Structure 1
Amino acid sequence: MYDRLNPSWEATAIYRARVRGALLGGAVGDALGYPVEFVSLDRIRALHGARGVTGLVPGAGGVVGRVTDDTQMTLFTVEGLRQAHQRERHKGIGGGWSRLVREAYGRWFDTQRLSGPPEGADGLAAQPWLYARRAPGNACLSGLAQDFVPDPQAELGRPGPVNSDSKGCGAVMRSAPFGLTRVPADTAFAMAARSAQTTHGHPTGYYSAGAFAAIVAHLVEGDSLEGAVLRAARLLARYPGHEETTDALREALDLAAEGSPTAERVETLGGGWVGEQALAIAVYCALVEPDVRRALLLSVNHSGDSDSTGAICGNLLGAHHGDHGMPHEWLERLEGRAEITVVADDLAAECLRS
């Protein structure tokens, strides 16, 4: 297990690889799923053959390897968390992570309204490729149009003030970074869940984000995929109103135990349009397929939100296996690969300074 307080050289290298793997893996899953989002399974097979998508395929404009708002928002989550960590380390001011992550999401929101970086932009806001608008979630857009910063100490279990009935997957798909910051899993859970309330007020919408962050935190510590999910489920059970998210995780675990992965079995878990279903599909695919390549392909070959389920599955697999476990030929064609790698390495370096 990873010792947060006294990491060895080897443990530090593993941690860096897992952070890089989580961010790159999520982007790969996103890019695999983007061209077939909104496409039925029958249509996917008609277009790509009986096995469906078997690698990166051209999306709009015939371009291969493009990512969507899933990867974009994940990177801005990293930026906000890294800035919060720097502020605490340099100035001794803690507790500001919620506002800084919200401000980072505000910068992402600007990328969806502008054609390119404004003069003087820095950080991720200076990257032209992040200004592409690729089917961003309505709850994310409408939520960020409001000036709401979640209270880091707010009680969980009640509908939040923003989009109180929304439990779409736009909160869970961006929340892996909370689990990458070397904080305990229960802290990662609480941070991710509260930050999710920026845009998604339904408890299942923010609990799925919290559970996902907790799973990632356990994976970074060296837990198995199944062990990480079980421990996150036990943590989730502490909170009122957890049942919908817990049931989805249990269903994924039970289905994975049966083996024989198929796209039809994936679809019994739902379409992935809402948070608990997207998390369940990603967990199922990561558990049932020991091969990274096959797991990622399974996570996108269905009739639902293929880019989000692919991104979440890729985050899980990357946090578990590290970046060396990601298929090299897919990484080579991934949009923004160099910048994503830098963001990952910067986050790891910052978190290791604590």
Structure 2
Amino acid sequence: MSTEPGTTPAPRPLPSALPAPAPSRESRIHGCLLGGALGDSLGYAVEFDDIAAVRARFGPAGLQDFAALDGGSHFSDDTQLTLYTVDGLVEALEWANDGVGADTNACLWLAYLRWLGTQGVPLPASAPVQPPRWIDTHEVLKHRRAPGKACLSGLATGEMGTVYRPVNPDSKGCGTVMRSAPFGLIPHIAPGSVYKLSSDAASLTHGHPAARQGSGALSLMIHFLAAGHGLLEAAGYALAHLREADLGRNESPDPVLIERLEAALRLAPQPGQPAAGALLSPEDLVRELGEGWVAEEALAVALYAVLATAPETTAAAPGHGEDHPQAHFRAAIAVAVNHSGDSDSTASIAGNLLGTYYGEECLPAAWLEALEAPDVIRGMASRLAVLTGA
């Protein structure tokens, strides 16, 4: 895999009342992908409903569990594209293991083009043809599940978008950040390289700095969590990278992205705060952090949901007993799902973060039983784990 070295900022560690868990790296990989799919699936059931409609359908607390959904729920394009991100990385790693220095972004572009072909969009004549891979054999990934317009239009140009030749130059939709967790699961590369891989891949469909930087920020959070850091610490490291590191291309941090991430950290109760246990209402969540349709809002809402429900930061959150990882996961996904916005994307990102932090331990068994095509998700996770030595 071809990467470039990057600078590593040295921010001050943030406080954490509980030690970070220590699952295996394989468990973190499976947890990240399965956790994201669970959040995506629960959120997809109410993605286009405002909070009033959600409450009318599920009660004052909103949608809390798959048991409330008759017949379960499907995962969306968020999980589809996350798995195709894994496949692009897997192909680059396969080339590297054969002694060939493949262009990682080209492998990702080809993977996303194969996904585009599953969405009923004719591939442009200029697009290179690639033989199908294992991921392409599964019908469940060929359903159209409300894909983002910029992802479709950016790939349909047949041009491999870059920061220098952007497709959709003004788009900062969350279609980049919601697919970017897998970059943080690649071990033994510097944070700057993680950021570059992720932000470069975002440029394939979205040109706005917030879309690229938001993707890089999520990948960095996953990277630090996979290395054993705590949730608050990982968020602080990622934010410090955006503020202090050389992002390349003479680019400055996007001010709106920084503002939203800082707000998520500020609004989530910190260890020892008197206001511990007070969660924002769905209305206040949207007012403070946004609806999640664009990159910086989706990441901020997900980050808030994860931090505000952490057992070490809020006495009101369930999970001070032995099952606190699953209780934390349930509580965070509920916050990320129940608002008037892009519920599947915000909950998918929250699931990625917690699945990486805790590993598979945090995933409720009953939810996994309701999950669509878990064998496909586990199959992609296993491929990534094997190729990265997990």
Structure 2 length as normaliser, TM-score?
0.81
What displacement does 1:94 show?
2.1
Q: 1:112 to 1:57 in 2, by over 3 A?
A: farther
Distance 2:258 2:372 in 1: 34
1:29 aligns with 2:36: no
The answer on whether the counterparts of 2:42 and 2:66 sit within 8 Å (CA) in structure 1 is yes
Q: 2:92 aligns with which of 80, 84, 105?
A: 84
- How many residues end up aligned between the 2 structures? 330
- The gaps in structure 2 that reach 5 residues or longer are 1-20, 123-130, 270-274, 311-327
The one-letter amino acid paired with 1:222 is G
Q: Does the C-alpha gap of structure 1 residues 83 and 122 become closer, same or farther in structure 2, counting only changes over 3 Å?
A: closer
Cα deviations by residue, 1:127-176 (Å, 9 ceiling, x for unpaired): 0011110110000000010223355xx67xxxx52001100000000000
* 1:58 CA displacement: 7.2
CA deviation profile, 1:179-211 (whole Å, cap 9, x unmatched) = 011133221111110110111100001110010
Higher helix share: 1
Determine the structure 2 residue equivalent to 1:274. Answer: 294
Matches within 5 A, 1:271-310: 271-290=291-310, 291-310=328-347
| d(CA) in 2 for partners of 1:121, 1:95 | 18
Give yes or no for the alignment of 1:147 onto 2:153.
Answer: no
Q: Give 1:210's aligned amino acid.
A: G
Is the 8 Å Cα contact of residues 161 and 167 (structure 2) preserved in structure 1?
Answer: no
Amino acid at match of 1:230: G
1:57 positional shift:
6.0
Q: Distance in 2 between matches of 1:58 and 1:194?
A: 39
SS at match of 1:322: helix
Q: Is the 8 A contact 2:45 2:73 kept in 1?
A: no
Larger radius of gyration: 2
Residue number among 344, 355, 365 corresponding to 1:328 in the alignment: 365
1:242 matched to 2:250? The reply is no
Point out 4+ residue stretches in structure 1 off by more than 3 angstroms: none
Matching residue's letter, 2:336 = S
Residue of 241, 253, 257 corresponding to 2:265: 253
Q: Distance in 2 between matches of 1:138 and 1:196?
A: 14
- Which residue in the other structure is 1:17 paired with? 27
Q: How does 1:23-172 map to 2 (within 5 A)?
A: 23-56=33-66, 63-90=71-98, 92-113=99-120, 121-150=132-161, 161-172=166-177
Per-residue Cα deviation, 1:243-302 (whole angstroms, up to 9, x for no partner): 221111100000003541132332221000000000000000000112111111110000
Which AA in structure 1 matches 2:66?
Answer: L
- 8 A Cα contact 2:49 2:341, kept in partner: yes
Alpha-carbon distance in 2 for matches of 1:232, 1:350 = 26
Are 1:58 and 1:65, in contact at CA under 8 Å, matched by a contact in 2? no
Q: Which amino acid aligns with 1:206?
A: R
Letter in structure 2 aligned against 1:73: L
One-letter code aligned to 2:199 = A
Q: 2:284 aligns with which of 256, 262, 265?
A: 265
CA RMSD of aligned residues (A): 2.0
Compared CA separation, residues 13 and 303, structure 1 to 2 (3 A):
closer
Structure 2: distance between partners of 1:186 and 1:48? 43
Give the equivalent residue in structure 1 for 2:386. 349
Matches within 5 A, 1:200-211: 200-211=206-217
- Cα deviation code 1:200-236 (max 9, x no counterpart): 1000011100100010000000111111011001111
1:337 aligned onto 2:374: yes
* Distance in 2 (alpha carbons) for counterparts of 1:297 and 1:338: 25
Describe the superposition over 1:93-123 as per-residue Cα deviations: whole angstroms up to 9, x where unpaired: 22511100100001110110179xxxx8441
Match of 2:146, SS?
A: coil
Counterpart-to-counterpart distance in 1, 2:54 and 2:73: 17
Letter in 1 for 2:282: A
Higher mean alpha-carbon deviation, 134-143 vs 259-268, is at 259-268
- Secondary structure at the counterpart of residue 111 of structure 2: helix
> Who is 1:198 aligned against?
204
Task: Please give the TM-score of this superposition, normalised by the length of structure 1.
Answer: 0.89
Q: Find the aligned partners of 2:330 and 2:150 in 1 and give their Cα distance.
A: 31
In the alignment, is the contact (CA less than 8 A) between 1:175 and 1:213 conserved in 2?
yes
Aligned residue type for 2:241 = L
For residues 57 and 196 of structure 1, the distance between their equivalents in structure 2, rounded to whole angstroms, comes to: 35
Residue 112 of structure 2 aligns to a residue whose secondary structure is: helix
2:323 corresponding residue in structure 1: none
Per the alignment, in what secondary structure is the counterpart of residue 38 of structure 1? Answer: coil
Return the alpha-carbon distance in structure 1 between the equivalents of residues 378 and 22 of structure 2. Answer: 16
